[in-house]
Amino acid sequence: MRSITVGTRGSTLALAQTHWVVARLKEEWPDTDFRIQTISTKGDRSRESLSSLVEKGNKGLWVKEIEDALLNKRIDIAVHSLKDLPTSQPDELEVASIPKRVDARDVLVGREGMKRLAELPQGARIGTSSVRRRAFLQAFRPDLIVKDLRGNIDTRLAALGGDEYDAIILAAAGLIRTEQRHRIDEFIEPGILLPAPGQGALALETRSDDDLSVEVAYAIHDRTTDDRVTAEREFLAGLGAGCMAPVGAHATIKNGVLTLEGWVAALDGSRVLSGSTTGDASECADLGAELAEDMLKQGAAELVEAARV
């Protein structure tokens, strides 16, 4: 029996995602033996703040050790959250497959009486460490107090039990994949909090020359998800921004027509530039690149640059 080793980080979410992927792959390839190998990354181990790591140029904080394991052949397929994966891969590696996306939206989880964003009292304290969520939240409700909240999903949910936060914002996908959908109090509409490019989607990365793993992974590829996230990620790449930028992007497809919405914000939410474009889904990459170019002309470059320092 041929055997394929699937690698991932060791967090609850990463493992849940990987078990889901392996179950789907097993349906397609019942005669293949899949093993799961967990790998700890700098992002998991670090006691430094994320922002200080980002300053040191750690683009793929969660990704480097996983890619090394692919290159060393310790693993054959890596499972990533697409939104944490840099927009380009090392030469010898490729994204072989993008499975069907779950809900891309952000959600609110709040204490008693704090369960809807628009109805939170003046000065309510919101926990998030995402610069994107912070900026868009402050643009929508300048009165809210956004407080840093780091850590994995369980750590962040546990923080609501203390008295530092009234509500927290998370990706719906993380709660759905870890079977904690019941914790969601409100799905926040993209018109208020535009999701991160690729949020809710996974990426299966392989060695480019490993034909077997590429073929195995591709069996669970989802074309519609791929077109949507390609538009979103080309937008991000076209802005010259990474996953730590105050940038949102959300694409939808109806009858083969793709609509892409993109936002770039000042870190304090005092400005939000927004734009959208629409076209044939087969042109997804160009649509993303064009929207980025348009918005750079409108002044997005300054906002992306301000977020870099």
Ligand X SMILES: NCc1[nH]cc(CCC(=O)O)c1CC(=O)O
**Residues identified as active-site:** 84
Overall size of the chain counted in residues = 309
Nearer to ligand X, 81 or 89 (CB): 81
Cα-based torsion angle of the residue sequence 145, 45, 19, 219 in order, rounded to the nearest 10 degrees: 90
Among 7, 99, 200, 275, binds ligand X (CB under 6 A): 200
Shortest Cβ 308–ligand X spacing (Å): 18
2 Rama sector, left if φ>0, alpha if ψ -120 to 50, beta otherwise: beta
Q: How far apart are CA 206 and CA 198, in angstroms?
A: 19
Q: How far apart are CA 9 and CA 22, in angstroms?
A: 15
Specify the DSSP element, H or E, that contains 232.
helix 223-238
Give the residue from 63, 84, 64, 76 showing the smallest Cα distance to 37: 76
Nearer to ligand X, 169 or 296 (CB): 169
- Partnered with residue 5 across adjacent β-strands are 35
60 binds ligand X (CB under 6 A): no
174 binds ligand X (CB under 6 A): yes
Residues 6+ apart with CB under 8 A from 155: none
Nearer to ligand X, 95 or 170 (CB): 170
* Piece in contact with ligand X (CB under 6 A), picked from 27-35, 70-78, 166-174, 182-190: 166-174
Query: 44 in helix, strand or coil?
Result: helix
Among 171, 249, 272, 304, binds ligand X (CB under 6 A): 171
Residues 229-288 that bind ligand X (CB under 6 A): none
Shortest Cβ 199–ligand X spacing (Å): 4
Which string of x and - marks every residue 8-47 that binds ligand X (by CB under 6 A)?
Answer: ----------------------------------------
Residues 71-90 that bind ligand X (CB under 6 A): 81, 83-84
The residues of the shown chain that bind ligand X, judged by CB under 6 A, are 81, 83-84, 170-171, 173-174, 199-200
